[in-house]
Amino acid sequence: MNSRPGAPIVVGVDGSARSLVAVETAVAEAALRHRRLRIVHAFSWPPTAATATPGLTGSARRVRWEQAEQYLAEAARVADKCAPDVTTTVEMISGPAVSVLLDESREAALLVIGDRGLGDLTELVIGSVASHTTTHAHCPVIVARGEPRPDGPVVVGVDGSAISALALGFAADEAALRGIDLVAVHAWNGGDGTELNADLPMTYEFWSGEEEEKRVLAEAVAGIGQRHPDLRVRQQARRGSARRMLAGWSRTAQLVVVGNRGHGGFAGLLLGSVSQYLIHHAGCPVAVVRPEPGETVQART
């Protein structure tokens, strides 16, 4: 995670209404963190939907380039309206959206994208860019979804893994910056398999009862008070589906935060299950936190 002072908040735009919502989300984050905002548009020619269209001319390319410039100008206007004190820059970058955004994530403190784009005419479509970016980015990614909810808490999924500890730290920072409660949620199914590995039998030594699950959550949040002594932390440990529980919280939360994978590499919060479900179905923005590629994350002891 790039925490250096000069690292910007980066947002990808494509001219869609949802990407302007992403701009609003990103500029709010920039204001909270006292960072600059960088707005980027990935210009790919020919457009994805037109790769099989014959006779595309240089004139058509110029028209599309000018249209993309308008996308950036509109995004900058939205950012300035929402937070005029935030320094904002815009840039058109040639290349596929995924490649551009992943490159941007190397120098970003945070990357923000919309949950869907302009249908067949853009690459910023949920299930492609969002899935690839949340899987491979070098910084946390917020997928802008749902409606603004300024009175809701920040909610984080916790499963005792080292990566969910990163998500918990990110969520605690977010809640402290926003001056709101943090809700730490831990879910387990209590059967002979986890929610994500129903076909993999578990031995008795891996099963834990309710008191043990509550202890996992309590230990995970124990150190938050040292960094954020004024932050109110609420804990919820409950038997059931992690994705259903977090999706339920997303109907009242400002932000839901999850790690990109969970305990043991297959449990709890594995991207492709809980995280993937939330970036498709949550009722509020979803932050996916992952270690940088190659970074070794040590579990709490």
- Choice among 86-90, 93-97, 274-278 with the minimum mean pLDDT: 274-278
Query: What does the pLDDT look like over 34-85, one tens digit per residue?
Result: 999 999 999 987 665 444 455 556 688 888 899 999 999 999 999 999 999 9
Top-confidence residue, 293 or 112 = 112
Top-confidence residue, 86 or 51 = 86
Query: What does the pLDDT look like over 175-190, one tens digit per residue?
Result: 999 999 999 999 987 6
- Choice among 168-172, 174-178, 205-209, 296-300 with the minimum mean pLDDT: 296-300
Give residue 210's pLDDT. 84
Top-confidence residue, 218 or 197 = 218
Could you please state the CATH topology (level 3) that the domain comprising 154-289 is classified under. Rossmann fold (3.40.50)
Give residue 72's pLDDT. 97
Separation CA 140–CA 144 (nearest Å): 13
Could you please state the CATH topology (level 3) that the domain comprising 9-144 is classified under. Rossmann fold (3.40.50)
Within the chain, all domains assigned CATH 3.40.50.12370 are found at: 154-289
Bridge partner residues of 150 (DSSP):
none
Separation CA 72–CA 286 (nearest Å): 24
Separation CA 255–CA 142 (nearest Å): 9
- pLDDT higher than 90, residue 201: no
Mean pLDDT of the chain: 83
Within the chain, all domains assigned CATH 3.40.50.620 are found at: 9-144
Separation CA 236–CA 217 (nearest Å): 8
- pLDDT higher than 60, residue 274: yes
Q: What are phi and psi of 124, to 5 degrees?
A: -85, 65
Give residue 191's pLDDT. 53
Give residue 53's pLDDT. 52
**What's the mean pLDDT in 163-172?**
94
Separation CA 38–CA 11 (nearest Å): 6
Separation CA 129–CA 286 (nearest Å): 15
**What's the mean pLDDT in 199-209?**
46
Query: What does the pLDDT look like over 118-135, one tens digit per residue?
Result: 443 344 444 478 888 888
- pLDDT higher than 80, residue 109: yes
- Choice among 97-106, 131-140, 185-194, 289-298 with the minimum mean pLDDT: 289-298
- Choice among 57-66, 144-153, 258-267, 274-283 with the minimum mean pLDDT: 258-267
Give residue 52's pLDDT. 46
Query: What does the pLDDT look like over 213-267, one tens digit per residue?
Result: 999 899 999 999 999 999 999 999 999 999 999 999 999 999 999 997 654 433 4
**Using 50, 70 and 90 to split pLDDT, how confident is the model at 25?**
very high
Angstrom distances, CA of residue 6 to CA of 12, 82, 139, 172: 19, 21, 14, 22
Angstrom distances, CA of residue 67 to CA of 64, 116, 118, 125, 201: 5, 19, 13, 19, 54
